[in-house]
Amino acid sequence: MCGICGFTGQVTECKQVIREMGTRITHRGPDSEGYYIENGISMGFRRLSIIDLEGGNQPIYNEDKTLVLTLNGEIYNYKQLREQLIKQNHVFKTETDSEVLVHGFEEWGEQLLPRLRGMFAFAIWNTVDKTLFIARDYFGIKPLYYTCLPDGRMIYASEIKCLTAHPDFTAEFNENVLDSYLSFQYVLPPETFFKGVYCLSPAHYMWVKDGKVSEHRYWQSMFNPDDNMTMTINEAVDEIERVFEDSVQAHRISDVEVGCFLSSGVDSSYVASYFAGHKAFTVGFDDGSHYNEIEYASNFASQTGLQHFTHIISGEEYWNALPDVLYYLDQPLADPSCVALYFVSKLASQHVKVVLSGEGADELFGGYRIYHEPFSLAAYQKLPRWLRRLLGSIVSVLPHFKGKSFIIRGSKTLEQRFIGNAYMFTQREKARLLKNVEATDPAMHVAKLYEQTKGQHDVTRMQYIDINSWMVGDILYKADRMSMAHSLELRVPFLDKEVFSVASRIPVKYRIAKGTTKYALRLAAKRRINNEAADKPKLGFPVPIRVWLRQKEYYDRVCAAFESDIARRFFYTDEIKRLLDEHYKGKKDNSRKIWTVYVFIVWYNIYF
């Protein structure tokens, strides 16, 4: 795992600038650094040594040095591709996976990308025709940001903080995305909180030449389920078992020790079942059993033969770490679990350089509880829509009662009620908060994704929304930043194109069935782990934000932020104070909304 950066064109002291950009991401690659500078391009690289420890330094070149490559990521099928390229008379000088890319690009050009199995963001400079080629992996596991200067020059990097080292880039706050952030709890890609800075979308590549940039998509995460039921449940489970075992073995390729994260859920337990005799890592909180499942994970580790390392995160430790977390994130992310991920990554980095984790299983195999909703609402939605809309309007102004949310959500179409796994503020609520930005309907931001899935089952459409927004903007974003903050490589075997090929064909009936989610995946997991772990309901990573915000110490801390100049600049402070006080007095659980605003204020103070 590594970090890359670079820029086209010239600046004064190119060497000094590219080195400073590299220094900004030393945490991504503390083992070595490398640079390439010629007329028209400056490329930087920070290395975390995982494969070919002695010979894998970058930049990497082809035989005649007409192609120059820097890579952030791992290519798991590089040995197979290497054999093919040797047969095509390519000459290799190292044993590293990165060299396969430069020869592969020389041989196949853009068609290299569909051949790859791995996580990656890489840049290749052609010294002959002065073109820059940049690509990002299928799911967006590895990040890549860029900005284009007015004169056509381009700057790119693994993290936004790199860009700020370039003398001709001025960081400016992009207030417009504050609107979507308040609804989604993350910045909806490809936009960022920095004006003119974008992230390259997953499964996309770019050509940069003569000041012009063209972007193209090379793969689509589209589901094609076998809903005609020619696939039996046993066949589905067999396919999952086969492809996942293959993926785990591929993801374990390394010249250093590999461990795993372990929560109490089926996803990480399934991964951990392949790690008997190796190290596993778990964190929890000291606020009751709901927020601390270390004992459960320890029991599983003992049964599986894992060396288990744990850490209890105190409230003070959690809150004090938030500024550091937000520095490494580059942008505000109001998912409370990202701080917990920061601590478990810190714990793991003290023992190993690489960990496997269970991200992606929920999105691919239908694991979130909200995916039950199309079934639970089905009978109610048989009522005429005008009647449901009338009922929804009436109950929306009534005090809270059991079933109120059901009636309101049932009055809406899927496109209106589901924007992804997180839905913090509605358009009406944002309008009461935002001073300078117009509040928009969150549904408009995912409308194009819904268009691409017309005619498919509601569960499949929800998964597609999550894969292309929630997973990119939240799940994988925090996984990359929090692990790399501690120079730890995090690998995600569920997010493998071969695994997706199987998951995309699983009928909806085998995803949501018998009152549970990920039904087929759980059956596959039961072939390796106990029923208790395989059947455990989806919890996410519970963090006691709700509890802490009813304690005076943390209430006062947030209150001070809500009364600050920054808060007054962007929000109607009476409204955000009302949310805080309402929660503190136990009248309503506003914890996630409060946290969303608070995280933004802390982040803004760090970067602007």
Distance (Å, rounded) from C-alpha 190 to C-alpha 233?
38
Which tokens in the block code for residue 141?
């596991």
The pLDDT value recorded for residue 540 is 72
Rg (CA), the chain: 24
CATH number among 3.40.50.620, 3.40.50.10860, 3.50.50.60, 1.25.40.10, domain 233-367+462-534: 3.40.50.620
User: What are the C-alpha distances in Å from 445 to residues 176, 191, 596, 599?
Assistant: 13, 11, 19, 22
**Whole-angstrom Cα distance, residue 359 to residue 365?**
11
The pLDDT score that the predictor gives to residue 231 is 85
Q: Which of 5, 162, 199, 260 is catalytic?
A: 5
Which CA distances in Å does 306 have to 107, 271, 279, 529, 535? 43, 12, 6, 13, 21
From residue 16, how far is each of 139, 162, 229, 473 by CA, in Å? 34, 13, 61, 32
Distance CA(1)–CA(29), nearest Å, equals 7
Q: Where are the domains of the chain?
A: 2-217, 233-367+462-534, 544-608
Cα gap 350→333, rounded to integer Å = 25
Q: What number does CATH give the domain 2-217?
A: 3.60.20.10
Instruction: Return the pLDDT at 289.
Output: 63
Contact 142, 73 (CB under 8 A): yes
List the one residue out of 106, 99, 15, 33 whose CA is nearest residue 67: 106
Mean pLDDT by 10 residues, the chain (608 residues): 92 94 96 93 92 79 96 96 96 93 97 97 97 98 97 97 96 97 96 98 97 96 83 94 97 93 93 95 82 88 95 96 98 97 98 97 96 93 90 86 89 94 95 97 96 96 97 98 98 97 95 94 96 84 92 97 98 97 96 98 97
Q: Would you call 148 a catalytic residue per the annotation?
A: no
